Structures are given as C-alpha cells and as structure tokens.
Chains A and B, each alone.
Chain A
Amino acid sequence: MMAQTTLTPPLVHAPVAVLARRRRFTPARIGIYVFLFGAALFFLLPLYVMLVTSLKGMDEIRAGSILALPVEWTIEPWRQAWSQVCTGASCEGIRGGFWNSVAITVPSTILPILIGAINGYALSFWRPRGANLLFGVLLAGAFIPVQVMIYPLVRLLAGAGIFGSLPAIVLVHLVFGMPVMTLLFRNYYASLPQELFHAARIDGGGFWRIFLHVVLPLSVPIIVVAAIMQVTGVWNDYILGLVFAGRDNLPMTVQLNNVINTTTGTRLYNVNMAATILTALVPLALYFFSGRWFVRGIAAGAVKG
C-alpha cells in the first residue's frame, strides 16, 4: 500500500492546501526563494566550473579564478580530450572509450530488458511455484556489494573462456541489472488487468504467444523507463568495466579515470574537464531530455517490492 503512494511520480499537482496558503512577498516566502536559489547555485557550481575550465587555456587557469569566464574562448581542450589525450598505454583520446561504452551499453540494455520483461511476465501472470521466493532472493541480491561476488565471477568467466571480453561484461551487466529490471516489469504487469491475460488463455494462447502479442505491445512505457535506467547505470559503471571488460573494451569511465589519475607531468585541467564532460554527456543528455521518465524510473526502482 505504502509503496503505491510513494510510487506516484512528483509531476502532477501542488496540493490544494498548499495552494490556499499561497501568499506573496512575505518574509517567509522570500526566505524560501533565497534558500532554493542558494541551493541551486551550489548544485550548478560544478557543472559551471567544468564548462568554463574546459573552455580556457592553461595559462588562464593558472593565473585566474576557477569561477572566471574564459578571456579567450577555446575548444582546443575538447579536441585534445576527444582525440589526443593519453588513456594509459595509447594516446588517442577518450573517443576509444566512448565507442567501447557504446558497444557495452547497447547489448547490456537490450538483454536485461528482455530478460526482465520475461521474468516480470512469468512472475505476474503465470506464477510458477517457488518463483516468488526466487524473486525475493534476486531482489536481496541487489543490495549485496559486488566485492562479495567479483572474484568467483572472474574465475567462472575465465573457466568459460570469455573473461576480459565484450560478452563477459555484457553477461555481468545482465546479472547485476536483473533485480531492478525484473522489479520494474513485475510491478508494471501487476497493474495491468488480469482479465486481459485470462481472456488470452481462454483463446488458447501459450506462454510466448501471449507475451509477444498481448503483453509486450502494452509494455512500451515501462520499456522506456527501463532503458533510461539501464543505459544510465551501465554507462556510469566503473568497477565492473574495470574488472571484466578486458583491456580492449575498457569503458569511458575507466579511461577517464586513467586520463586524470595516472597521468604524470603537468595536469591539464582544461583537457581533464573536457574529458569529464564528454564522459558524463550521454546520461546527462538522457536526463535532460527525458526528465519525467527518469524520475519515474528512480521512484519505481527505488521502492523495492
């Protein structure tokens, strides 16, 4: 019950009572705006600093304030970050990491969504015996730190001969993405009318036919939410990519960290910040263009069960 109320996305309406309390220009209201404005400045500060730093030359950074706008605007740091900076052994910029992340994220989004949808469908409509217990353990697994499982997983994947490859990292993302993906689809399907399913059963539909022709076409909204969450999660992952992807497939986050934390010599802060923005760009763009769906996904994924 409580889960339902907290699930309501915060996009609808201000409560009537609050509307009634609306008064303008009282000291209290000014205080509210001052607080919110101050908080907004704090939250925007890093984004602003990242941007202006990435558009300055190093001389300006050494001489001037971190907050100052560039005197001479330059996109040279961005060019260097994208195609020249050293990410470890090679110095071909962060672009290799970008494409690695794309190659990891696409299958690591499609596969967990597919499996999550099948799981949710089986759990909500077919309810095989023991499935709910299994689901409970799966959800609990979402809380276990990966450090507990990481070494045995390395050995298992090495045993299967795929450790340090694209299939390995996709499989690991599937394993760790499954709890939330299953939860999303299970809850969504639980809100669909059961009659739909019963009618399809009476018409003689089998497991896969009902899934493909009845349930899947109704799943578009939740697939969008799931895709946003999974793309963000996989793109932002560091530890799994570091361990499982292998040297040729290191995702952008790992390469970014290499650029900044393992470089010797002078630190090129402008190039570093350009590389950081480039790495954060995909999930940030996703967030800014799909704000409502993003919030809905967090709310739905956050309420476990």
Chain B
Amino acid sequence: MRAATPYAALLPMALTVIVAYLGTMLWTLRTSFTASRTFPSDKFIGITQYTRLFDNERWMLSLHNLAVYGLLFILACLVIGFLLAVFIDQNVSGEGVLRTVFLYPYAMSFVATGLVWQWLLTPGTGIDGSIAALGFPDFVFDWIVDQDLAIYTIVIATVWQSAGLVMALMLAGLRGIDADIWKAARLDGIPAWRVYVSIILPMLWPTVATVFLLLATSVVKLYDAVVAMTQGGPGTASEVPAKFIMDHLFLRSNIGLASAGAIMLLVPVLALLAPYAYARSRRNRERGHA
C-alpha cells in the first residue's frame, strides 16, 4: 500500500510524458504520412508530404532564414554575453545596476520585444530619422522592409532580448573559477586577455555548452518574435519553419504538410540533445567509477 503511493503521485508526470509528449509526437509522425488536409485522413501516402515539403519554396526559404538567423543569433549572443560578463567581472562600480540593465529585456516577452523593435526600426520615423536629424540627411535604415535584410532585424531584436541571459550565466561561470588561476597567470606575466582566451574560456566550456543548447533550442522555436515584428514579411521574406507549420495547421488547412514540417523540426533538436545526453551519461558513469 505504502509502496504504491509514490507511483500514484507520479501519475500526472507519467501521463504528461506518455500522452502529451510521446503520444502527440507519434500522432504527428503518423499524420505526416497521411493525405490529411483540413481534416485528418487515414489515407497513407508514404513520404509524399516530405517531398512536397522540400519542393515548397516557402519552406525552403524558411529553412534558409532559420540557418542565417540561428548562426548570427547564437554567435552574437555568445560574443556579447561573454564580453559583458568579462567586463562586469573587472570589479567595476555599479555592477548591480549594470547586471539589472543587461538582463531586464529577458523578462519581456518576444511579442513585446518584437513590437518595440518594429517601432524603433520603422524607416523615417524610427531611430534612423533621429540619426538623419543629427546631420546625416541621407541616412536610412530600412532593413525591416527590405526583402533581403528583414531577417537581420529579427536577429537584432532577439539578441537584445537574450544576450543578458548569456551574460548572467557566463558571469556565474566566471565567479566559479578558482582565484589561484589569476594569481598564477599574473606571476607568469601573462596579459589578461590571453588568460581569458586560453585558460578561462576552455574552463567555462560546460557553461558555454549549456548556453549554446539553450540558444539553439530557442532558435528552433523562433515564432512569436517574427509574428510580432514582421509577420514573416515583407512578403514571405522573414518566414521561419515554426511559423510555416502554424500557418499550414490553422490558416492554410494542410495538416499533413504541417506535420511533416514539425517532424523535420525534431531533427535539429535531436541532433543537439544526443551529444549532450551522451556527454552527461559518460560523466555520470565516470563519477560512478571514481
């Protein structure tokens, strides 16, 4: 009787995992092999939805956008976050205020973030108007309405939102590093920047890996910010996969195609998680032997 209670208590978790996570994933996988359009269908058509998906220009464009976005977003967040953490770690005055300032955007939703930056980057009345008024009358910053450049404005907005998170995690990592390393490096007369690049950064690698995983998952999930900032436009120029799937599920009534797209989104996630899980299990095993 007593032994049964812990199992009963974990029932909500078991249901969540089995029904809401695994069950729905299998359901979506099954749907992706059917001819479902507005309504689900049981007619199996093999991998036709997947070939259609990769013949679909909008999907291919969304993949391309995601690659460009992801690369720049992750790189910029890591570099800016690391630099902010290192500079804050130089025993500066006003550290608390600076930390608060760098991290507050992370408390804002992607919707609010997207809307603010949409206004800031509105050509003419936005920030470029102010720069023009400073004596550069020809200055225009119209990336948000430019087919080729709109995706970069989403990078700017979301880096602004997320870089503080990287800063906070990196700073925690820096504070966890043994102070003796600094003493030793100073005795050897190694310049501070070299210590950071050659010693500190490699030691921070678990933090960097965690941050990378967090940023990469948020790249795959990118949706709200695009909807709020550009609605995928101009035209379909800033389309992303998550939005492609949502549009085909709820607006364009193509459940089969949307499901195939959703399953394809799983590929990068699994590719990211597998090495992480492997490293973790190996570390645990080593710890077990020790």
Contact = CB atoms under 8 A, between A and B. Distances in A.
Most-contacted residue by chain A among B6, B19, B102, B172 (CB, 10 A): B172
Nearest to A115: B12
A63 to B, nearest CB: 10
Contact of B107 (A7, A13, A294, A299): A294
A187 B155 CA distance: 34
B214 interface: yes
A141 B25 CA distance: 10
A288 B100 contact: yes
A105 interface: no
Contact of B246 (A3, A14, A147): A147
A294 B108 CA distance: 13
B182 interface: yes
Nearest to B113: A46
Interface residues of B, number: 112
B210 A6 contact: yes
Interface in B157-210: 160, 164-165, 168-169, 171-173, 175-177, 179-183, 186, 192, 206-207, 210
A75 interface: no
Contact of B6 (A6, A32, A122, A155): A122
A49 B87 contact: no
B16 A6 contact: no
A65 B133 contact: yes
B130 interface: yes
A103 interface: no
B160 A43 contact: yes
B160 A8 contact: no
Interface string B82-110: 01100111111000101111111111111
Interface string A1-22: 1110111111011111111111
Q: How large is the interface on A (under 10, 10 to 19, 20 to 34, 35 or more residues)?
A: 35 or more
A97 to B, nearest CB: 11
A174 B15 CA distance: 12
Contacts of A39: 80, 84, 102
Contacts of B183: 17
A148 B266 contact: yes
Contacts of A151: 27-28, 31, 249, 255, 258-259, 262
Interface string B5-25: 111011011101101111111
Contact of B265 (A147, A291, A298): A147
Interface string A31-42: 011011001101
Contacts of B119: 49-50, 53, 66, 269, 272-273
Contacts of A121: 9
Interface in B254-280: 255, 258-259, 261-263, 265-266, 269, 272-273, 277, 280
Nearest to B26: A152
Contacts of B63: none
B224 A238 contact: yes
B265 to A, nearest CB: 5
B103 A295 contact: yes
A39 B88 CA distance: 11
Nearest to A68: B130
A8 B109 contact: no
A17 B109 contact: no
A218 interface: no
B206 A2 contact: yes
Contact of B2 (A10, A206, A305): A206
Contacts of A178: 12-13, 16
Interface stretch (A78-86, A192-200, A256-264): A256-264
Interface of A: 1-3, 5-10, 12-22, 29, 32-33, 35-36, 39-40, 42-47, 49-50, 53, 61-62, 65-67, 115, 118-119, 121-123, 126, 128, 131, 134-138, 140-141, 143-153, 155-156, 174-175, 178, 182, 206-208, 232, 235-239, 243, 253, 256-257, 260-261, 269, 272-273, 276, 279-280, 283-284, 286-288, 291, 294-295, 298-299, 302-305
Q: Which 8 A-B pairs have the closest CB atoms?
A: A17-B182, A236-B109, A287-B107, A152-B24, A5-B176, A126-B6, A2-B206, A152-B27
14 contacts: A10-B168, A49-B127, A67-B127, A67-B130, A140-B273, A140-B277, A141-B16, A149-B21, A151-B262, A253-B111, A256-B111, A276-B115, A279-B112, A283-B108
Given A10-B171, A67-B127, A238-B110, 12 more contacts: A18-B91, A21-B90, A42-B160, A62-B125, A65-B133, A178-B13, A207-B2, A243-B250, A260-B118, A273-B116, A283-B109, A287-B107
